[in-house]
Amino acid sequence: MTIDDLKRAASHRAVEYLRSGMVVGLGSGSTSRYATLRIGELVRAGVLRDIVAVPTSIDTANLAISEGIPLTTLEEHPRIDVTIDGADEVVPSLDVIKGLGGCLLREKIVAAATTTEIIVVHDAKMSRRLGTVSPVPVEVIRFGWKNTRRAVERTGVARTALRLAKNGEPFITDEGNYIIDCTYDGIDDPIALNARLNGIPGVVETGLFVGMTEIVVVAASSGITVLERP
C-alpha cells in the first residue's frame, strides 16, 4: 500500500465513529482531507444526515463546501461531538505533535471544544518519545518575531527555523501569523514545555497537543490499529 492508501484507510475507519445529527470537527492536511471527502460521500448518499461541521482551516472549509457538507461555527455550536484530524507524530500516551500543515491554532481551538478527538495517521508517524519524529511548530505574531524566536530557543531547542512558503517568503497562517519550527532532541515533559512556550510574549500557540486525543487510528500495511485512551 502507498502512503496515500494508508491515509485513506485510516481516515475512512475514523469516519465510522460519526453518527447523524452530530457536530463534527474537520481537520486540515492531506490525511484529514480523505476524511472530509468520505464524509461528503456519506452526506450526499443520505447515510449521514443533519450533521454540521466546524472546519479548522480555510482550505478545509472550501473543500467541505464543495463536498456539500453544511458548515457551522463555534459561536453557533460551542461543543463538538467528534473531530477527525491528522498528526505529525504520535506517542503511546496519545499525545501528539501537529502543525506542519500550518493550521495548529485553529486545530487546537477545535480540539479543545471536542468531546472525542480522533487522530488518523500512518504508522511512520508513531514514535516512542515525543519530538523524535517531528519538530514542534510554534505560531507567533509577526511583531518582534526575532525576539520571540530567541526566547523560544532558550527553552532548550536544538534548532529553530522560521517556516517559509514555496516562494521563499515567510509562511503566513490563516490567522496572519508566522510559524517557528523547533527541533528538540526528544521531549521529556511536553506539558511543562507547552506551558513554558505559551508563557513567552509573542507566542500564540504550540503544536503540542497533550491530553487532548481520545482515539488514534493507525494504518499500516498489515492493517488498521485503533488506540484508545484508557
User: Are the C-beta atoms of 134 and 95 separated by less than 8 Å?
Assistant: no
The SS3 of residue 214 is coil
State the virtual CA torsion across 17, 18, 22, 23 in degrees, nearest 10: 90
Q: Rounded to whole angstroms, how far apart are CA atoms 226 and 222?
A: 13
Cross-strand pairs, 218: 121, 225
Task: Burial-class residue 226 by CB neighbours within 10 Å (0-12, 13-18, 19+).
Answer: middle
Query: What is the DSSP secondary-structure string of 102-134?
Result: S-HHHHHHHHHTEEEEEEEEEGGGB-SSTTSSS
> Does 153 participate in catalysis according to the annotation?
no
- Looking at the DSSP bridge assignments, the partners of residue 225 are 218
Residue tagged active-site, from 89, 107, 205, 214: 107
**208: its cell numbers:** 503540542
Contact indicator for 92, 213 with CB cutoff of 8 Å: no
Closest among 186, 211, 206 to 195, alpha carbons compared? 206
Catalytic residues: 107
